[in-house]
Amino acid sequence: MENLVNIFVKSIFIDNMIFAYFLGMCSYLAVSKTVKTSTGLGIAVIFVLGFTVPINFLLEKFILKAGALTWINPTLADVDLSFLTFIMFIAVIASMVQLVEMVIEKFAPTLYTSLGIFLPLIAVNCAILGGSLFMQEREYANIAEATVFGLGSGVGWFLAIVGIAAIREKIQYSNVPAPLRGLGITFIITGLMGIAFMSFMGIKL
């Protein structure tokens, strides 16, 4: 249990998807103009990450890893399908995103229209694929750890996008040098937020 809490806190603050790895930056920069849409996209990302990471964990464990197919037949012990990882992961992600899109369209049509093109683009949000690939690289022991890691990464991404959206709403009233307006200042603020988040690295878990 303690271990799970550690993974959760670590994936939100220390290994934050945006500030530590820059994953999912494209939609982060494009959608973060208002807090409202950012919140919607953030929740969608938490949801998608929370499902795809454990599903991909199972795929990895029972199909893709070297020798993972022994549960079907012991003679398959030397089959190594790990080169198929990317295609399998992206297929799972694309279908999950499709599902989320349908759910949002049904239950929150206003949010659906305000997110527009960025909802299907979650499929190519690197934070989602990155979550699964980090899960694979860090070799989490069981599905509970993988799920907690997925949810934590999603929450970290959510916090980052809502934070920057709030700052961007306020900064419209500031006197930023003209060439730096919009994109430039957003990059620099994200950099500063990243430096702030790095102070979490001192926490020993």
Give residues in contact with other proteins (CB under 8 A): 19-26, 29-30, 83-87, 90-91, 94, 120-121, 123-126, 128-130, 133-134, 137, 177-188, 190-195, 198
> What would the two tokens of residue 100 be?
């989320």
HSE of 204 in the Cβ direction (CA atoms, 13 Å)? Answer: 0
Nearer to other proteins, 2 or 145 (CB): 145
Q: Measured from the CB of residue 2, what is the shortest distance to other proteins in angstroms?
A: 27
Nearer to other proteins, 126 or 166 (CB): 126
Q: Measured from the CB of residue 41, what is the shortest distance to other proteins in angstroms?
A: 15
C-alpha of 116 from chain center: 19
Nearer to other proteins, 74 or 177 (CB): 177
Q: Measured from the CB of residue 105, what is the shortest distance to other proteins in angstroms?
A: 16
Q: What's the CA gap between 86 and 140, in Å, rounded?
A: 18
Nearer to other proteins, 26 or 71 (CB): 26
Q: Measured from the CB of residue 160, what is the shortest distance to other proteins in angstroms?
A: 12
- Cβ-defined contacts of 84-90 (< 8 Å, 24+): 85/60, 85/136, 88/56, 88/59, 88/63, 88/64, 89/52, 89/56, 89/59, 89/129, 89/132, 89/133, 90/123, 90/129
Q: Measured from the CB of residue 83, what is the shortest distance to other proteins in angstroms?
A: 6
Nearer to other proteins, 9 or 121 (CB): 121
Q: What's the CA gap between 93 and 126, in Å, rounded?
A: 11
